[in-house]
Structure 1
Amino acid sequence: MTADITRIRNFSIIAHIDHGKSTLADRLIQQTGGLQAREMTEQVLDNMDIERERGITIKSQTVRLDYKASDGLDYVLNLMDTPGHVDFAYEVSRSLAACEGALLVVDASQGVEAQTLANVYQSIEHDHEIVPVINKVDLPAAEPERVKAQIEEVIGLDTSNAVLASAKSGLGIGDVLEAIVKYIPSPKGDRDAPLKAMLVDSWYDPYLGVVILVRVIDGVLKKGQQITMMQAGTQHLVDRVGVFRPKIEIVGDLGPGEVGFITAQIKEVAQTNVGDTITDSRRPTAQPLAGFKEVQPVVFCGLFPTDAADFEKLRDSLGKLRLNDASFSFEMESSAALGFGFRCGFLGLLHLEIIQERLTREYDLDLITTAPSVVYNIHMRDGTTRELHNPADMPDPMQIETIEEPWIEAVIFVPDEYLGSILKLCQDRRGIQKNLTYVAGRAQVTYELPLNEVVFDFYDRLKSISRGYASFDYHQIGHREGDLVKMTIMVNSEVVDALSMIVHRSQSEARGRHMCERMKDLIPRHLFKIPIQAAIGGKVIARETIAALRKDVTAKCYGGDASRKRKLLDKQKEGKKRMRQYGSVDIPQEAFIAALRMGDDA
């Protein structure tokens, strides 16, 4: 039975990581009877172990709740649980576009954070009705009045209708449900118009194929209908229509304003682009929905198996992950030092970490990850432009006119006492300060930064400098020209391609010296002297030497002429020189792994 459109409420929950978004979703499901008490688990809508352990949401989830309000009427509430992390900003924007309102969850002890801001501004852009929920009010450190004032000051939202709640203890959950019904508007849509629905998300199910999460704008979506994906240009036959409560429930059709799922015997998630418009093949809608964009990988790195025999296993594992996550890409590459592996593209650093962790856990793989790099635009002297994903593929510098690197605008929220160190960190990373404001004892800094300075270890440094109190959010602002060079590391005069990186000329010397010192500590001593050099083109910019292991050849000369000792030492010197010409340096895998972990890089 299709719900009355005036009694439908579509909303999402916006919050910074750890402000209690998933816990609030659990309580709402419990309060409305979506699951029995024995079926409840912590973070019901987070399916992956990684999501539960880290307390983050990676995939958007949805649940349909039936609620009898205080006015005696029955309402259908569609909750969209969205990821909070910046890497999944596009997924968030599509989920928000499918809603009419949002709950802004703010921790009563921590206040407004950077990601709260980024997502709430997106919500305001979609013209949403926003209901502030001050969570964790039962904590000893809670200051709900201060947080209310902060929301009004920073975001400009009226907090007179703010709900005080504690998702963990269940306090104020009834008030949250009433606020959803009262303040969030019902959707608009025409049941008789041609079908127009938004593809909000999709994932792979081993039994059903690809499951597509949809929000119907106009028309009706039902089983047996021939549908067209307008951006992808593909046609499919709907074989199942349903909703999540959060258990799957099959329904006859989905009308305007409703959120549910369909399956259509699609084999790969790559065929279903988030944000695509679904319409009826026989009676299509005239205009697709606005706001669609292809998701582009932002950070690239190489994944190599520690054991070369695991290469095929890695290929299969990446193929299986790609079934379920179309936003990452991979292609084969080989390295003289690391053997065969894959060059993978990710939405950001958290995305990279999650894929890597899933490969290690779910597929039992031991991996080496090369240093992450970003996409550079290279303008050649012959007028062509190339995209560069891998520093090892850099063309001859003589043929390059200019190199452009991606830049981001970062918003950092930090308590006053750590501001100086944060500003220094941003300056060291070639940042350009745009803005600095103070809000309720905390500084909000806006910086423009090159993305390749951020992908290494910026986030870790930010957290350690501020003792975990700084929060950070960013969005890309396009490419800019920079004085960039390729730095290679040579061990015993041989280039180690896995350690090549693109750096800004002003920082190449410090980065090169650091890398050489690091390799010196990691490579074991051999019977001959090993030079480790960092070079830009033919110019060596840093050098360290690993001393040879030596036998004391003069031990048996306990007397006599000094020339006898000299003769023996010269003989040894000749032998060492010959050995260095023919000897090859064995670099252990651990040395690569440690050198490529840029965690201690200052």
Structure 2
Amino acid sequence: MTDLSHIRNFSIVAHIDHGKSTLADRLIQSTNTVAARDMKEQMLDSMDIERERGITIKANTVRIDYTADNGRAYVLNLIDTPGHVDFAYEVSRSMRAVEGSLLVVDSTQGVEAQTLANVYHALDAGHEIVPVLNKIDLPASECDQVAAQIEDVIGLDASGAIRVSAKTGIGIHETLEAIVNLLPAPQGDRDAPLKAMLVDSWYDSYLGVIVLVRIIDGTMKKNDRVRFMSNGTVHQIDKIGVFRPKMQDVEILGPGEIGFITASIKQVRDTRVGDTITSEKKGTDQALPGFKPAQPVVFCGLFPVDSSLFEDLRDAIEKLALNDASFSFEMETSAALGFGFRCGFLGLLHLEVIRDRIEREYDIDLITTAPSVVYHLHMRDGEMRELHNPADMPDLTLIDHLEEPRIKATILVPDEYLGDVLKLCQDRRGVQLDLTYAGSRAMVVYDLPLNEVVFDFYDRLKSVTKGYASFDYVLTGYQEDYLVKMSVLVNDEPVDALSMMVHRDRAEMRGRAMVEKLKDLIPRHMFKIPIQAAIGGKVIARETLSALRKDVTAKCYGGDATRKRKLLDKQKAGKKKMRQFGKVDIPQEAFISALKMDG
């Protein structure tokens, strides 16, 4: 067991693609934690999808042994965190388990929106922060300007910022020395009752649930009986160890150390992230404050293209939910799409990742309905209901008012694109809160409805700024607004998969765009098909899909005009009857294309 003063726990935080995982690779490599033959790029990104997209989704941890210049041996526990806004809860959780952070800033790009968001997570957790300027080997690197920018925008002293190139290995020794000399050692009491924080948990098919723990006080060893305080369950520890990134068993974990335990736990649901673990006999009474549970913000329906695969989809979703506490689901049915699930996600990237994993790992083709957010319905009888799916909207006469979630968005953008960004935010019903400058870049803060952001706001923002803007948001709460449910009727039948909540002032525009798009997507039938967008009983937009026509008068050559007339009237009556009983087939692609609304 290591002396507390020789332990350093830290995380690496940064914006997307500023080099967190590469820096972690170099730290692991330069301390010989992993043999040279086992070393590979993005050592800590274990999922295929992480390697393919080049992003970190799960925070991962590794223990490094380092002998400093002063001759002492130190144990460094590193947590590599995601950079994307959808996985911010992973970041905030990892922060609670460590005492310091390396703030990595790309010296060619400077401070970005997510850099700010992650620094605030670190400051909230009371961290000591060491700024690191990465990518100094690139010709476009501007270390002095970026250091000045860190001081202006964040307010951290960056005069002693470490200059590194995580790719080539320049400055890695200085980084290790800074971790040892500038970051604080953890506090803790060996002899106090056991108090450990549950940082993360995931399911392994051989070992059951693996629990990542940070020991605050006391010690933990194999065969101890421990109690999880949130649900009172008691388990006996089968295996205890640390990650170097591979699992390595140890005899005992003491205060300040980060490691894992397994205890034949069957379900990840029994291990709540942020829970306190203590010993069964002489436990502590004082639980740790824990984390706020992750709140899903975007909901959408997942349906199998082949309805016979519904049971396989249920299995796939249950397995994914085992490893992802922030993903929630419930069963739903739709007239157009059959049986499926209504799922909650932290954002659109989270939705894409889950969808890709189901399609790839379980080989199920999926249809995804329009993403929607959770609305609060305040009924006339004083009850408050949550609305997850616009198709479930109750009768308007029963509702007193409706509230939608709002966010505070921070956008960092080069000066020349500022006008386009302001126009985009105004078009999405945004309210400007703040506009400041950091060098040649503007920082805009807007209050926006989440409903307008989940759809394609990020894509539009990237396209109007040629990819230079960075965007981050936090939920601020709910606000009343004049929202209505827009239904789409095809041949007078409502299509529930296409109904959506829109602001009343925008309803005509959205409705017209939707019906025009559907007119091109639905194939023509033998009868005329009206496509309408309606609010309640009032139609606000309509397009008519003309009928395919068979030439019934081809065999009439000459003779009286009434012969032709008689045949045409017979055809007309047949079409009228057909329209009454005919069923319109809407192809699956039409649903998907119709939901991708353009600006």
Q: TM class, shorter-chain normalised?
A: over 0.9
Superposition deviation, residue 577 in structure 1: 1.5
CA distance in 2, matches of 1:560, 1:440: 86
- 2:434·2:446 contact (CA, 8 Å) conserved in 1? yes
Deviation digits for residues 18-55 of structure 1, max 9, x if unmatched? 11100100110001111011101110100011111112
Q: Scaled by the length of structure 1, what TM-score is found?
A: 0.97
- 1:91·1:274 contact (CA, 8 Å) conserved in 2? no
- 2:276·2:290 contact (CA, 8 Å) conserved in 1? no
Alignment partner, residue 464 of structure 1: 463
- 1:487·1:512 contact (CA, 8 Å) conserved in 2? yes
What runs of 5+ residues in structure 2 fail to find an aligned partner? Answer: none
Superposition deviation, residue 441 in structure 1: 0.6
Correspondence 1:102 to 2:101: yes
Alignment partner, residue 441 of structure 2: 442
Correspondence 1:395 to 2:394: yes
Correspondence 1:552 to 2:551: yes
- 2:275·2:290 contact (CA, 8 Å) conserved in 1? no
Alignment partner, residue 594 of structure 1: 593
CA distance in 2, matches of 1:96, 1:532: 52
Correspondence 1:133 to 2:132: yes
Structure 2 counterparts to residues 504-515 of structure 1, below 5 A: 504-515=503-514
Alignment partner, residue 540 of structure 2: 541
Amino acid at match of 1:601: D
CA distance in 2, matches of 1:285, 1:448: 43
Alignment partner, residue 155 of structure 1: 154
CA distance in 2, matches of 1:54, 1:470: 20
Amino acid at match of 1:308: S
Instruction: Report SS of the residue matched to 1:417.
Output: helix
Rate the CA distance shift 1:425–1:247 in 2: closer, same or farther, 3 A. Answer: same
Structure 2 counterparts to residues 265-414 of structure 1, below 5 A: 265-414=264-413
CA distance in 2, matches of 1:499, 1:119: 37
CA distance in 2, matches of 1:594, 1:582: 27
Deviation digits for residues 356-399 of structure 1, max 9, x if unmatched? 00001111110000001111111111111111111111111110
Alignment partner, residue 3 of structure 1: 2
Aligned positions, number: 599
Aligned residues with identical type, % of pairs: 71
Correspondence 1:23 to 2:22: yes
Deviation digits for residues 290-333 of structure 1, max 9, x if unmatched? 24222232211110011111111111111111222122121211
CA distance in 2, matches of 1:456, 1:147: 33
CA distance in 2, matches of 1:229, 1:496: 47
Alignment partner, residue 58 of structure 1: 57
CA distance in 2, matches of 1:454, 1:477: 14
Instruction: Report SS of the residue matched to 1:232.
Output: coil
Deviation digits for residues 432-459 of structure 1, max 9, x if unmatched? 1101111111111111111111111111
Superposition deviation, residue 563 in structure 1: 5.6
- 2:212·2:261 contact (CA, 8 Å) conserved in 1? yes
Farther-moved stretch of structure 1 (226-235 vs 520-529): 226-235
CA distance in 2, matches of 1:565, 1:390: 52
CA distance in 2, matches of 1:371, 1:237: 45
CA distance in 1, matches of 2:464, 2:443: 16
CA distance in 1, matches of 2:112, 2:231: 37
- 1:232·1:276 contact (CA, 8 Å) conserved in 2? no
Deviation digits for residues 49-78 of structure 1, max 9, x if unmatched? 111111211111100000011111111100
Correspondence 1:489 to 2:488: yes
CA distance in 2, matches of 1:219, 1:72: 28
Amino acid at match of 1:135: N
CA distance in 2, matches of 1:302, 1:573: 40
Superposition deviation, residue 571 in structure 1: 3.5
Amino acid at match of 1:272: T
Alignment partner, residue 231 of structure 2: 232
Amino acid at match of 1:74: A
How much is the aligned-residue C-alpha RMSD, in angstroms?
1.4
Amino acid at match of 1:512: G
Superposition deviation, residue 593 in structure 1: 2.1
CA distance in 1, matches of 2:536, 2:143: 59
Q: Scaled by the length of structure 2, what TM-score is found?
A: 0.98
Alignment partner, residue 75 of structure 2: 76
Instruction: Report SS of the residue matched to 2:92.
Output: helix
What runs of 5+ residues in structure 1 fail to find an aligned partner? Answer: none
